[in-house]
Structure 1
Amino acid sequence: MIQWWQILLLTLYAGFQIMDELHWYSSAGSAVFSGFITGLIMGDMATGLFIGGSMQLTILGVGTFGGASRIDANSGTLIATAFAVSSGMDPEQALAALGVPVAAILVYTDILGRMANTFWGHACDADVEKMNWGAYNVHYWMGAVSWCLSRMIPVFLALAFGQGLVDAITTALNGDLAWLGTGLTVAGGMLPAVGFAILLRYLPVKKHIAYLILGFVIAALLGTAFTSIQTIGGDVATVAGATETAITGGSFKGLSMLTVALIGFALAYIYYQQHQNAAVATVSAGVEGDDDDEL
């Protein structure tokens, strides 16, 4: 059950995160940070970071242009984390069943916030023409209030009155609708891949394929290294106690041939591109020089 003080803190944070996203840019208005703060307040930071990170990857390639509204991933992360912790819901289920739908629904409250802010903006313009600076300050801050309320009201209503609904959903997904719960868990695990796919759709991948391969290989190697820190620590302790035994019996393994081949291909492709560009530049310079001689 979500406590009243948790509802209060999360509601206040919902208003703060949209203002940070619009004005201060301290990264508090991001899905990862939202998961971190919500997990901290709910007492399960690991779940918050998992849902926040997954939501961040899900929207990785989603962008807005001009004044377009977009899904509110931060509030979706907040709601999904709060109910996942309080109801014992699987984080991936919470992401797919709560996080993404809530983020999509809050597009409409974002529109309402923008409409209200337009009203206060026109009021500020009128105050400037009249040089009424006191009223200008009031109308300016009312615009900020409208933005905050566009997040605080739906988050408060969901946290305060949605616990029973979420408990019922969790019970159903773990009972008669277990097949649906399994599907939502799989969908939640796939959402970050969708975010990467959207991002790669907009990036010049063909032009920079070598760097993409290098980045993928390096990330995979670093992931392996970080997951083996405990093993490496044990090996270091063994080295301190019996150097020869540790050296001959260590668990370090060489790189696979596929890893070496991918790195080699990426470096070779970069070398080829650089020299091809240099050759084209040389030919262009030669043609320009011949034209100058003819003149």
Structure 2
Amino acid sequence: MDFQTLVMALVMGLLYWICNGTVGYTLWMGFGTPFAMGLFAGLIYGDVTTGIILAGSIKLIFLGVIAPGGQLPSDENIAAACIIPLALKTGMSTEVALTLAVPVAMLGAFLYNMKKIVNIRFVQMAEDSVEQMNFKKLWRSAFSWPMFANFLLFFMPVFLVNIFGENIVQPVLDIIPEWLMHGLEIAGGILPAIGFSMIMVMIGKKKFIPFFIIGYFVTVVTNLNILISIIIAISIAIILVTTKREMRGDVSRG
């Protein structure tokens, strides 16, 4: 294990712990995100561009994921904390990294639910300390012990994955046949489009899903620059909105 890997494991584990420990009023919202993890991973490995691209791609996959009733179905943050460093170190493509991000995100959901189960005990301890007027015990029950539990639940898994993950992932990548690797790349390339589709379904505008699918595949096939793609998409949206308003105006006048 080299020093760079150790630093990466510490930073990713710390960021994921901050994220799920909700440290500070705004600290966890700024640093516990895929973009922050991609930025720090890129800085450590000297490839910020790829780190941000990986972070943005992972974010797109889980764009439409919500937590109904507080039950998180998947966790994009642990996917970013584990997969981005591994992708940068092993040199795997973005598409393959995205296919690995999905099952890792499911592990994050398990840890998140485990956190709630563990914290039930701390709530009971806090209630007892209030009845006893023991404010030191209340502080430990409400903050110290939960943060320590979060450290074990969130810091340690990410730290270990970053330390030993390459030793597991790299041999697997070496033995995967080319046809299967190509299939993984295709599947990974489609995942961001699924994230967009989930957003459209969630807001109840399923009729716009074909626009996302067409835009995605046109961008991939033609290799359009992302800025150009955005300009074209905005132009089409303006044309559609303007045309719709004009048609409504004609109907009202008629």
State the match for 1:192 in structure 2: 192
Q: Distance in 2 between matches of 1:145 and 1:271?
A: 60
Identity %: 25
Q: Alignment partner for residue 101 of structure 1, among 100, 103, 112? A: 103
Q: Cα distance, 1:224 vs. partner? A: 1.5
1:270 aligns with 245
Q: 1:126 aligns with which of 106, 125, 128?
A: 128
Pairing partner for 1:171 from 161, 174, 186: 174
Structure 2 CA distance for aligned equivalents of residues 72 and 259 of structure 1: 30
| 1:1-295 mapped onto 2 (5 Å cutoff) | 3-20=5-22, 24=26, 26-96=29-99, 98-141=100-143, 142-173=145-176, 177-205=177-205, 223-224=227-228, 263-273=238-248
Q: Unaligned stretches of 5+ in structure 2?
A: 216-223
Shift of residue 33 of structure 1?
2.3
CA distance in 2, matches of 1:42, 1:259: 35
Measured after TM superposition, the shift of residue 8 of structure 1 is 2.0
**1:251 alignment partner in structure 2:** none
Give the distance between the partners of 2:250 and 2:23, measured in 1 at CA: 43
Distance 1:259 1:60, change over 3 A: closer
Tell me the CA shift for residue 34 of structure 1.
Answer: 2.2
What is the total number of aligned residue pairs between the two structures? 237
RMSD of equivalent CA atoms: 3.3
TM-score (norm 1): 0.69
| Residues 215-259 of structure 1: per-residue CA shift (max 9 Å, x gap) | x8xxx99822899xxxxxxxxxxxxxxxxxxxxxxxxxxx9xx99
CA contact (8 A) 2:12 2:37 kept: no
Aligned equivalents of 2:181 and 2:80: distance in 1? 19
TM-score (norm 2): 0.80
Q: Distance in 1 between matches of 2:15 and 2:239?
A: 48
In structure 2, the residue matched to 1:290 is: none
Aligned amino acid, residue 8 of structure 2: Q
Shift of 1:168: 0.6
Select between 26-35 and 157-166 the one with higher mean Cα deviation: 26-35
Gaps of 5+ in 1: 228-254, 280-295
Q: Higher relative contact order by CA 8 Å / sep ≥ 6: 1 or 2?
A: 2
Quick check: 131-140 or 14-23, which moved more? 14-23
Give the stretch that moved more between structures: 5-14 or 133-142.
Answer: 5-14
